[in-house]
Structure 1
Amino acid sequence: MNKVLRYQITDKQNGLTIKAVLSSLGFSRHEISRFKFSAYQMYLNQKPVMVNQVVHTDDLLVIEELNVEKFELHSISVEPEILYEDEDVVVVNKPSGMPSHPSHHHLEDDMGTLLRNYYQDEHFVIRPIGRLDKDVSGIMIYAKNQLAAARLTAQRKDGILQKEYYAIVEGQLDSHGILSFSLKKETGKMAQAFNQGGRDCVTEYEVIKRYSTECLIKVCLKTGRTHQIRAGFAGIGHPLLGDTLYGGNTDRINRPALHCARIKFLQPFSKEKLELEIALAEDMKRK
């Protein structure tokens, strides 16, 4: 799914270098640096050019993403649940139990590989923007090309791309609150160490519904750290139901009771505001 961009040079851009034109079009320095290597091919009036080439009014600049790597394709037994799709982005509802991307122990049964086989595209590169743990359900976004991936990653870093989660935690929390803590990855351990140094985390939550011994909460992350929700609430004595890694009870659910339910972001090129929402996962619903 290679991306091809076409730009007609305007009077305002006359006499600029291609590098300056790309910057005026919103390309980051990191993106522009990739044009110097083999990731892209640029043509000015159908002739190959470099970023230091000067352009003139009515010149046609074409940028083509290159991807020569090929991947083995397989048939699929289940189709991905696609919530939104355009030429740059696909957003899916990832079920619990399915990894977001390939790993050493999951080379064929992850959501990214499922998408490649669904499209039957041997050049499809798996580009998840953020990720969900294998046993966490909900919304995942994938970029279909490197230019889109770079822009969506920047949106995530700048807080433009936002997600909301639902979680069921043990015990009762205040109606709303903000958790500030740190998490540290310890060598050889899967769990993150709570408030033992490491990276700062900020998590905002609101109680949606109370049960006798637990509550359903809505969670918004102000930082994006591995296991931020799971380790954070366990650290204050309220582990997620089913989260055995952090001491959660498995009487009602056998996986972390965590579900990504909403996402907001901008289409990487048109800047259209996109907002998607899905219902709570069935195994997290309670009467």
Structure 2
Amino acid sequence: MNKELHYQITDKQNGLTVKAVLSSLGFSRHEISRFKFSAYQMYLNGEPVMVNQVVHTTDVLVIEELNLETYPLHPSVMRPDILYEDEDIVIVDKPAGIPSHPSHLHLTDDMGTILRDYYQDEHFVIRPIGRLDKDVSGIMIYAKNQLSAARLTAQRKDGILQKHYYAIVEGQLEDKATLIFSLLKEDGQLTQSFNQGGKQCITEYEVMKRYQTECLIEVHLQTGRTHQIRAGFAGIGHPLCGDTLYGGSTHWIKRPALHCARIEFLQPFTKAKIVLESPLPEDMKRK
């Protein structure tokens, strides 16, 4: 889905270059560098323009993102559970069992392709902002254009985009704590090695409900590493229920008991705060 932005040059921007104007509007150096390539076209007062062009008051700068590539469409097999949508983003509640994006084993049944087929838009580019493992449920963001994707990715890096998860772990944890550990990805292994070097992870949790042999926790990540929740709790002796990859039991649930329940971020252009929640799924409810 193409994005077109219109800006009228102000007195304050008079005499600046297009590059300086873009910087003043909040575009990153990486975004501006992309304007030199075919992914974008820029026009000043209706004429093509380069980033070193000087602008004047009342000039109109138009930025158009192009997507000329086409992708195969399939009959829509399911209606995605859309929690929020505007011209820049679509946010869905992903069921467990569906991958976040295409892979060599899942070329047509991932959530990104399901969205493309739902829109019946052969130009829809799948741009997930972060990911959830196939068997993990919950909130997923997809950017509809590259400018939105770049800004949302920057929000993740800067800690503006925040996610909260529900998980059910085996055993009993203290009421709340912050876990600090490291995870290392070994070549050829699906799992992450706990405290064997690698990248630092910071995980906050609070117990929400206790069961006889498990507890429901809310988890907030200060860092975002692959399998940070799954490998982290397994590493301290409390694997997620159903998570066979890290030693969890499947006696009452057959997939990792993990759900992305809340997300907070800013709309990439208007900066309006967006907060969305998804309730605990049925297969994670315990009495």
TM bucket normalised to smaller: over 0.9
Task: Tell me the equivalent position of 2:4.
Answer: 4
Task: Tell me the equivalent position of 2:52.
Answer: 52
1:222 has 2:222 as partner: yes
Matches within 5 A, 1:151-166: 151-166=151-166
Task: Tell me the equivalent position of 2:248.
Answer: 248
Letter matched to residue 276 of structure 1: L
Task: Tell me the equivalent position of 1:112.
Answer: 112
Matches within 5 A, 1:68-147: 68-147=68-147
Task: Tell me the equivalent position of 2:261.
Answer: 261
Unaligned 5+ segments in structure 2 are: none
CA distance in 1, matches of 2:17, 2:285: 57
Task: Tell me the equivalent position of 2:34.
Answer: 34
CA-to-aligned-CA distance 1:189-228 (integer Å, 9 cap, x gap)? 1000000000000000000000000100000000000000
CA distance in 2, matches of 1:186, 1:278: 33
CA distance in 1, matches of 2:278, 2:136: 14
SS at match of 1:21: helix
CA distance in 2, matches of 1:193, 1:77: 38
CA distance in 1, matches of 2:231, 2:14: 54
Task: Tell me the equivalent position of 2:284.
Answer: 284
Letter matched to residue 240 of structure 1: L
Task: Tell me the equivalent position of 2:17.
Answer: 17
Q: Which runs of 4+ in 1 moved over 3 A?
A: none
Residue 274 of structure 1 deviates from its aligned partner by: 0.4
CA distance in 1, matches of 2:247, 2:23: 49
Task: Tell me the equivalent position of 1:65.
Answer: 65
Residue 141 of structure 1 deviates from its aligned partner by: 0.4
Give the length in aligned residue pairs.
Answer: 287
CA distance in 2, matches of 1:197, 1:33: 35
Residue 13 of structure 1 deviates from its aligned partner by: 0.4
Letter matched to residue 110 of structure 2: D
CA distance in 2, matches of 1:78, 1:105: 19
Q: Percent identity?
A: 79
CA distance in 2, matches of 1:243, 1:263: 23
CA distance in 2, matches of 1:87, 1:4: 10
Residue 39 of structure 1 deviates from its aligned partner by: 1.1
Residue 38 of structure 1 deviates from its aligned partner by: 1.0
Letter matched to residue 237 of structure 2: G
Letter matched to residue 211 of structure 1: Y
Letter matched to residue 102 of structure 1: P
Letter matched to residue 198 of structure 1: G
Q: TM-score scaled by structure 2?
A: 1.00
Unaligned 5+ segments in structure 1 are: none
CA contact (8 A) 2:77 2:114 kept: no
Letter matched to residue 49 of structure 2: V
SS at match of 2:279: coil
SS at match of 1:50: coil
Letter matched to residue 38 of structure 1: S
CA distance in 2, matches of 1:55, 1:119: 38
SS at match of 1:209: strand
SS at match of 2:206: strand
Letter matched to residue 244 of structure 1: T
SS at match of 2:168: strand
CA distance in 2, matches of 1:202, 1:227: 12
Letter matched to residue 23 of structure 2: S
Task: Tell me the equivalent position of 2:174.
Answer: 174
Letter matched to residue 252 of structure 2: R
Task: Tell me the equivalent position of 2:43.
Answer: 43
Residue 77 of structure 1 deviates from its aligned partner by: 2.1
CA distance in 1, matches of 2:142, 2:188: 29
Residue 76 of structure 1 deviates from its aligned partner by: 1.2
Letter matched to residue 259 of structure 1: H
Residue 34 of structure 1 deviates from its aligned partner by: 0.3
CA distance in 2, matches of 1:66, 1:129: 20
CA contact (8 A) 2:263 2:276 kept: yes
